[in-house]
Chains A and B, each alone.
Chain A
Amino acid sequence: MDDLYRAISDPTRRAILDELVERDGQTLFELCGRLTMKHGIGSSRQAISQHLEVLEAAGLVIAKKEGRCKFHWFDGEPLSAIAERWPAKR
């Protein structure tokens, strides 16, 4: 669980998840373009790549190679553990 909380504690990583929710299955290049143009996040590709690794470790992003390209997909499943731990209604 610590991985999950750490993953969503960072605003850049939350923006990455926002962009993947808008369009799932993006390359690193597309994600970086969207983060720069829409969120004003000018981090290097290396930095974004490291953010993606943190999100992957938390299970929130799945990276898959299709052909020679690597695409990134959102998986919201780990987040359900938060709602189970602290339900909105008891």
Chain B
Amino acid sequence: METRIPFLEVSDAIVMSGAETLYWCMQCGLCTGSCPWRLVPGEASEQFNVRLVQRMGQLGIEGFESENCLFACTTCRTCVDRCPRGVDIIGNIQGMRSMLAEVGTIPGSLKPIVGSLHSQGNPWSGPREKRTEWTEGLSIPTFSEDTEYFLFVCCTSCYDIRSRNIAKSVVKALRTAGISFGIIGAEESCCGESIRKVGDEALFQKLAESNISLYNGKGVKKIIVTSPHCLYTFKNEYPDLGGKWEVYHYTEVLADAIKSGKIKPSGDAAGRVALHDPCYLGRHNDIYDQPRELIESLPGAELCELSRNRKNSLCCGGGGGRVWMETKAGERFAELRISEALDAGANILATACPYCITMLEDSCNVMGKSDQLKVMDLSELLAEKL
């Protein structure tokens, strides 16, 4: 075996790029054992060992850079929650990616995403001016000083045809509840959560600065988001950069509205509904109860818990930039989730994240299970009963 020569200057650069807890790691391997990649076969499963990646980082040894190694991490946070040393493993992964991004060596599949974010402010190569195309015919108010909430719709739900239904459903529910909200429009940019995880720190800073000056300029105080990813970055990362607002995921606002009786779902029985806890709603933001309350408020709904739920929820595979990368069929976490939902006897698999919807619905179709199981956003499920 060839002798490796550690470059401690490289490890220094990784730490400087944000891997501040890199040396806290005592290499016990609990992270690797907890990683969802252990549950599937394939290249990423074979190549990505999060403990070893951090070891390479500690020693400044190369070999971790590929799409199926360092860039396999979905930032699902299972390992972080379990780490006995409190290592910010996602921060370390992000730091290592960031060091690569600075010299432009990110995976090729991410380059168009970066380009689109730079030029259009969204990752989906949609023209900036078409950001509000989904609102046609809905006469959604524009946010002003008199509006209580600024509704920030995730880029995915602005541009993706399937995902637009989530935005529309959220709007319908908020209206029914009589909540005062408005959008800003084409000037909004992507929140930048996922591109920061990919390691492009400069691009994230650019997006965040643009959003912060825009929202502050409009007098935003409270925000409702449609995606847990936007929730995470607005709530946890923007404050350091000057964006200090009250931020809520729509499930929180709507669960409140149901409790206070502003919304009363009615209609046909919803049936057996399984809930997939999105990583960024659950482990990252600690919201577990409100989605369940929404399901339980539906007429004739029976909540069936998946075998991995709440803190142990299994990632859909779409976080950390993976939503833009290809994972082969047969190697996707979402497939395991579909099977779990079927095992639980559900006829609907509900969730509350546009990435999760994309990943789960895709797998459900690929697996040929769409006649048995319907993948729905909670907002859609609720909007049907209003």
Query: A and B, one complex?
Result: no
